[in-house]
Structure 1
Amino acid sequence: MHAWTEWDHIVKVDPDKTLYEDETFEDVAKTGTDAIMVGGTLGITEEKMAEYVRGCIEGTQAADVPVFIEPSSAGVVVHPDGLGGYLVPIVFNAGDIAWMTGAHKEWVRMDPNIDWDCTHTEAYIVLNEDASVAEYTQADCDLGPDDVAAYAEVAEQMFGQDIVYVEYSGTLGDPDLVAAAHDALDDATLFYGGGVHGYDSAHQMGQHSDVVVVGDLVHDEGCAAVRDTVEGVRAVDN
Structure 2
Amino acid sequence: MDTGWYANWQHVFKLDPDKEISDEALDQLCMSGTDAIIIGGSSGVTFDNTVDLLARVRRYSVDCALEVSTMDGAVPGFDGYFVPFVLNTKQADWLMLKQLEGLQEYGHFIPWEMTTASGYIVLNEQSTAAKVSGAEANLSEQEILPYLWMADRLLRLPVVYIEYSGTFGDMNVLARAASELEQAHLIYGGGIDNAEKAAQAAAHAHTVVVGNVVYDNLKAALATVEAVKSVKVSKQ
CA distance in 2, matches of 1:168, 1:126: 6
Higher mean Cα deviation, 202-211 or 105-114? 105-114
CA distance in 2, matches of 1:173, 1:50: 31
Alignment of 1:146-225 (within 5 A): 146-222=142-218, 224-225=219-220
Of 117, 127, 138, the match for 1:121: 117
Partner AA of 1:42 in structure 2? S
TM-score (norm 2): 0.93
CA distance in 2, matches of 1:15, 1:124: 20
CA, structure 1 residues 22+54, in 2 after alignment: closer, same or farther (shift >3 Å)?
closer
Deviation at 1:225, TM superposition (A): 2.0
CA distance in 2, matches of 1:109, 1:233: 39
Which residue number corresponds to residue 41 of structure 1? 42
Which residue number corresponds to residue 74 of structure 2? 77
Deviation at 1:140, TM superposition (A): 0.6
Deviation at 1:22, TM superposition (A): 4.8
Which one scores higher on RCO, CA 8 angstroms, separation ≥ 6?
Answer: 1
CA distance in 2, matches of 1:146, 1:184: 12
Of 65, 69, 72, the match for 1:68: 65
CA distance in 2, matches of 1:24, 1:17: 13
Which residue number corresponds to residue 105 of structure 1? 100
The answer to whether the 8 A contact 1:194-1:213 is kept is yes
Which residue number corresponds to residue 136 of structure 1? 132
Percent identity of paired positions between Structure 1 and Structure 2: 33
Deviation at 1:107, TM superposition (A): 0.9
Partner AA of 1:12 in structure 2? K
Give the alignment's Cα RMSD to 1 decimal: 1.4
CA distance in 1, matches of 2:32, 2:110: 31
Deviation at 1:24, TM superposition (A): 4.6
Of 81, 88, 108, the match for 1:86: 81
Give structure 1 stretches of 5+ with no counterpart.
none
Which residue number corresponds to residue 227 of structure 1? 222
TM-score (norm 1): 0.92
Aligned residues: 230
Partner AA of 1:148 in structure 2? I
- The one-character-per-residue Cα deviations of 1:114-141 (angstroms, maximum 9, x if unpaired) are 1111111111000000000101111011
The answer to whether the 8 A contact 2:5-2:80 is kept is no
